[in-house]
């Protein structure tokens, strides 16, 4: 069994928003508390790495219960990968090849708002850590899984098992793997202060300062031409936030004598929101509500490798799934390589196949090609019914599933 060592580092920050209601002053305080915990797993090679097609029986290693940001959490790792309900062999194979890491909430709160990220520590001198997570996405953790709360959140593609187990890469050294989890909780509360004792906390102006740099073009060293609009941007920020731009500037544009780049595959309004994410780590809430913005934004996030933005789009698209739009979003998930959205779509299609085939969106599935159609049919037809056949669940035919064409 892995020897578990816990190291905890804490950083607490407060952001206050003051609203005045005469004659009293009511101060609404959003308390942002951030802590980082470290889990060291010794004897990694002794952990089970066989992949099982069922997360209930999938073997795993769990940390001790850790007190983080005033609550209880557990880190869990599946060396053999997390299982998938998809019938797409490529999706299943990808899950098998990757180590999965989950963050479990085991506290008493019914609704705890938090952001988190997971870091796989590179233990070689000068090695670069691998950070993955949904820092821009606020998740409501609770005691039970429901429409509004989750007991856990998983990262199923954080690193290939073969890459991790190659000790020359630095992710595993002397058969030891080090995992860090950074958790930020966000809790609001109100208090009343006397008029002669106003509450004051120095504001965090970094996001607004970076937004101002983007909008003003101050110190810009590259112009991004998108449709009829120009965005005066900064290579250093683009490189730091997008692997796509990092690779682009390091290769084809490294020696090019140009300060302009054409963006031909994304609408200007969509690209503007992507740049806001790159600079500020957020997008305008009103923009997310605009018609088709999420659909276009997830495609842009996939192309420019803004993975946290892609996760944010996936979460919002999953929340809005319905019989009327699930077929269209399934095609979108396939195009954007959005595995979590795709699985959510397939799960909704399974019990509602006949009704969904009658929607306009089903035409998009038919036009997407035989591979996606076959995957949907295999997923639905493969669901067992109550009947038994030599001890195995009886499988429905395509006609019984409502998938005859």
Asked whether residue 201 is assigned to any structural domain, the reply reads no
22 and 78 within one domain? yes
- pLDDT of residue 41 exceeding 90: no
Question: 141, 165, 190: which is the final residue of a domain?
Answer: 190
* Mean pLDDT, all residues of the chain: 79
Domain check: are 81 and 138 in the same one? yes
Residue 395 and residue 304 in one domain: no
- Segment 52-56 shows an average pLDDT of 56
Bridge partner residues of 305 (DSSP): none
User: Same structural domain for residues 53 and 171?
Assistant: yes
Whether residue 246 is contained in a domain is answered as yes
Residue 252, classed as helix, strand or coil, is coil
pLDDT at 282: 86
Would residue 162 count as lying in a domain?
Answer: yes
In a domain, 198, yes or no: no
Instruction: Provide the domain limits for residue 98.
Output: 4-190
Residue 54 in this model has a pLDDT that exceeds 60: no
Last residue of a domain, one of 311, 333, 354: 311
Instruction: For residue 116, name the pLDDT band (cuts at 50, 70, 90).
Output: confident
More confident residue, 332 or 385: 332
Residues 163, 286 within the same domain = no
Instruction: Clarify whether residues 227 and 326 are in a common domain.
Output: no
* Same domain (yes/no): 286, 332: no
User: Which of 281, 311, 341 is at the close of a domain?
Assistant: 311
Q: Does 340 fall in a domain?
A: yes
338 shares a domain with 259: no
Whole-number pLDDT of residue 306: 94
Q: Is the pLDDT of residue 263 over 50?
A: yes
Residue 263 and residue 389 share a domain? no
Asked whether residue 271 falls in the same domain as residue 149, the answer is: no
**Does 181 share its domain with 248?**
no
The residue whose two tokens read 């997830």 is: 298
356 and 395 fall within a common domain: yes
CA 141 – CA 148 distance, rounded (Å) = 9
Residue 200 lies in a domain: no
Q: Read off the pLDDT band of 68 (50, 70, 90).
A: confident
- Contact, 260 vs 225, CB < 8 A? yes
CATH code: domain of residue 218: 3.30.710.10
Per the structure, the count of domains in the chain is: 3
User: How large is the average pLDDT for residues 118-140?
Assistant: 81
Report if residue 199 sits inside a domain: no
Q: pTM for the full model?
A: 0.53
pLDDT at 113: 84
Long-range contacts of 217-223 (CB under 8 A, 24+ apart): 221/259, 222/259, 222/260, 222/261, 223/259, 223/260, 223/261
pLDDT beyond 60 at 4: no
- Structure confidence at residue 274 (pLDDT): 97
List the CATH number of the domain containing 177: 2.60.210.10
Distance CA 336, CA 301 (A): 9
In a domain, 195, yes or no: no
- Domain containing residue 355: CATH number: 1.25.40.420
pLDDT digits (tens, 9 = 90+) for 138-173: 788 888 777 777 788 877 778 888 999 998 999 899
**pLDDT (average), residues 251-270:** 81
Measured distance CA(175)–CA(392) in Å, rounded = 41
């Amino acid at each position: 069994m892995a020897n578990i060592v816990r190291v905890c580092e804490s950083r607490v920050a407060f952001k206050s928003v003051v609203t005045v209601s005469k004659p009293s002053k009511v101060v609404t305080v959003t308390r942002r508390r951030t802590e980082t915990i470290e889990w060291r797993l010794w004897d990694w090679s002794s952990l089970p790495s066989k992949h099982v097609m069922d997360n209930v029986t999938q073997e795993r290693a769990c940390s001790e219960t850790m007190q983080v940001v005033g609550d209880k959490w557990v880190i869990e790792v599946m060396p053999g990968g997390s299982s998938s309900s998809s019938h797409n062999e490529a999706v299943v194979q990808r899950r098998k090849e990757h180590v999965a890491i989950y963050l479990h909430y085991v506290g008493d709160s019914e609704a705890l708002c938090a952001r988190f990220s997971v870091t796989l520590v590179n233990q070689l001198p000068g090695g670069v850590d691998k950070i993955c997570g949904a820092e821009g996405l606020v998740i409501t953790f609770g005691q039970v899984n429901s429409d509004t709360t989750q007991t856990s959140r998983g990262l199923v593609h954080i690193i290939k098992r073969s890459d991790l187990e190659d000790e020359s890469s630095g992710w595993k050294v002397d058969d030891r793997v080090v995992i860090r989890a950074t958790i930020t909780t966000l809790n609001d509360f109100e208090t009343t202060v006397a008029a002669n004792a106003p509450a004051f906390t120095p504001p965090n102006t970094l996001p607004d300062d970076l937004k101002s740099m983007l909008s003003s073009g101050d110190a810009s060293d590259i112009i991004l031409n998108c449709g009829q609009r120009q965005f005066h941007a900064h290579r250093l920020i683009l490189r730091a936030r997008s692997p796509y731009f990092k690779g682009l500037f390091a290769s084809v544009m490294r020696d090019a004598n140009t300060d302009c780049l054409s963006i031909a595959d994304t609408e200007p309004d969509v690209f503007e929101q992507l740049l806001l994410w790159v600079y500020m780590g957020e997008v305008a809430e009103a923009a997310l509500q605009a018609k088709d913005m999420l659909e276009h934004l997830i495609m842009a996030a996939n192309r420019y490798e803004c993975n946290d933005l892609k996760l944010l789009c996936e979460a919002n698209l999953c929340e809005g799934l319905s019989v009327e739009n699930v077929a269209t979003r399934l095609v979108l998930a396939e195009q954007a390589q959005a595995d979590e959205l795709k699985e959510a779509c397939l799960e909704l299609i399974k019990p509602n196949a006949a009704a969904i085939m009658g929607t306009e969106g089903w035409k998009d599935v038919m036009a997407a090609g035989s591979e996606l159609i076959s995957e949907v049919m295999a997923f639905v037809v493969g669901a067992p019914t109550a009947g038994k056949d030599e001890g195995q669940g009886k499988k429905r035919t395509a006609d019984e599933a409502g998938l005859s064409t």
